[in-house]
Structure 1
Amino acid sequence: MFTPPPSPLPPRTLQTSSSEPKSLQMTDVSCTRPAPIHSSRSRRKYTLTLRWTIILIPIILITITVATRVVAHPMVFDAFSPSSTLDWKSWSKSLTDWSLHERHKVSKSPLQPMILSDRSSLPLIKRSTPSATPAPTVPANPSLPTPFPQPYDTTLSSNFSTISCYNFFLNMTQTNALRSCRPFSLLLTHSQAFTEAQDDINAMNTDIWGTCNTGISQSQCQLNMEWFASQLHSSCATDLSDQNIMAVNALIGLQAFDLMREGACSVDPVANAYCFLEAVGNSDPSSYYFYQLPLGLPLPKITNGACNSCTQSLMSMYLAALNSENATSLSGLQATYGDAVNDLNTECGSSYAQATTVAASSAPLKVTLTSVGEAWAVVLGVGVLWTLVIG
């Protein structure tokens, strides 16, 4: 009888009890995937690369940002600049461009007034008195016009960068905290009714009395203006950065409230008349222009008509303010006072007005990233560059 050879197949494993879970029945140790093992060398290289990346990216970012604004730099740096507007094709091409590029101009500080260097094209305030008119004496409790002239009494334009800034101006101009204080610093440049009142010297006399005699005390009004200035900083941050003329000039006017009220309310003791009224009634506008200095408006060509006790007293008032602890908020006056002293001393004598030792306000160098998106774009760009370098 023929006996078949042994089967070549491996012996079967014993079946488990049918009561065991199916998952256990199919478990085979030989099918388990081993855990990945990194060599110590790879781990050290990875850790070292990560550490240097964390250290060098901020350094490279700051270096590129500063270099593009301070010195001539390779064009490739502009690809990672926060202000870069290159498309993808141009951006890729710029990565290989190492030709020199001139430094980028730094924008003016938001606190800087709009100063024009060409005096022949200055936006001078309208002065309505064509011929000499004697200034009336300071009135005694006159009847004030109703409504009293208010700043921004014409329709506000929508030329704002943000709706929050536009809403701030709408709310500020309607609140009693501003209207009751009758700020001369804003009336002088932003009130059509106040400007038109200069056609009638007696009406202007009443208006000046009203700005000097408010139902709210001067100290409380000063606190109100400081609060408005703080809110303007917050609500109009973008507009200030964009040098929106409405926002910048309003901030300067709010900060100059106390000083300009003091100047408008000063009285000529000889004539017992407001000095400002004498400037308005004078056929020579030279003295009038000195009331604009705290607003950042420099003097046009003046004559020796400005050589009077009121102008000299006003300049002494300005000097004291610039030497006080509040000088930092008077950016408009800081920018105009020095040239005004030179012009006045040229016309009136070398020692008529005193120069200040306080340095004129200047725009500080600021390294800023204009948005979170741009910041991430720069970080990503530098990260790509660093990856190419270490790779």
Structure 2
Amino acid sequence: MNLAYCSLADSNCSRSGRKAVFACLRVLTRGDENIWSSFFTLSQCLEEPQFHIINPVLPRMDEVLSSVYNGSLSFKWASLIFMRAFAHSNGWVRLWALEKLVCVDPAIMAGNQDRDDFAALLWIRAELFDQKDQLLRGLELELADRLTALEEGVDVGLSPDVVVARDDFAALLWIRAELSDQKDQLLRGLELELADRLTALEEGVDVGLSPDVVDAHAFVVHNVYMGLIRRLKCYMKPFAELALSLISEEVIPCDRHSLLIRVLYDSLDELSSEDSEEMFPKIVAYLGENPLSPIRVKKGVGCTLENDSNKIMSVIQEYRLKLLARYLPSICNDPESLLMECIEQISCSSAYLVAQCYLLISRDLVEKVTRPEILLALVKASLSVANEERKSQNFLPALQHTLGLPFTVPAIEEKRNR
């Protein structure tokens, strides 16, 4: 049974492979058809791409969860259905899975939570930097340190500089620094470590690392280090300047470009208005003369498939447009020409998130445009995006944007558009 579960949970398992596993499961669960019937029916229907085939069977998920609650079925089998639903090509199925998952009993979710996620990330980080032995020794010494402190009875008042809202890693790290009187060392260490990671422009594949490890490296930098630094209220301007200087260099691989622009955008959220204004000329120089147009970047060695490269390019373009939208009031000198270019780029967008950025920028620009033909062209472009996304979860946001255009000031004032 465990082998069957591992096979079905493997994202690389083919449809024929899953069919074979389900056949084996039917044999292994013979005699318990009342418990497993809904599971098999749902799993089989989720293999179909058409929503009208799947929709009548979705209520059977309540029977599966009922079996989980009464203890006759393990939650891991229900989680397989959620996995297949989240991987489905139809956005309505993914939305249904999300709505159903948040309704699951929290006690069941807590009992089946994987507690090894951070440990795995920490071990990957040690592997990346060849620090496995140091990590193990550090953990042993730290544990002995904490046990000794508990025996002695530590009575330390923690400062309220950092708000500890949850029992997460950032909070625990800060408490440990408070207990050891190492707050300044912790902040400096995190800043130096992140700067070191951002400056490391060597590509992971060139030094023998697999693309998965390179992706894990980027995940650790963007989510773990940036998350800790933002939670600990570090001064973010040096990181924004460093990311901007590195991202402005020529011949930078697309995967590194994607990481740096995300770090840059996240850093700007934490800057003061004075620091943000000081960064403005450098960001304008990075965006270039045609900030709305996609840029050409070097393909990363880790992008073994064309889809990988296209996905990374979409992320880069999305965050470039977000930077433009942030400083749009200061950049926009000719709203009409900028809006016309936005309309042209909407039809060429490689992903909905990119098209959404164009739509949001155009929504800010349309208030300054009086020509009715431009407004009509924008409405047509918005309708085409909504039509393309009609079977996905992005349909409602796209439709909301389209329906909001007739209520803009130029549309209301223009008699021909009423």
Report the TM-score when normalising by structure 2: 0.30
Structure with higher RCO (Cα < 8 A, 6+ apart): 1
Q: Which has the higher helix share?
A: 2
Report the TM-score when normalising by structure 1: 0.32
Which protein shows a greater Rg? 1
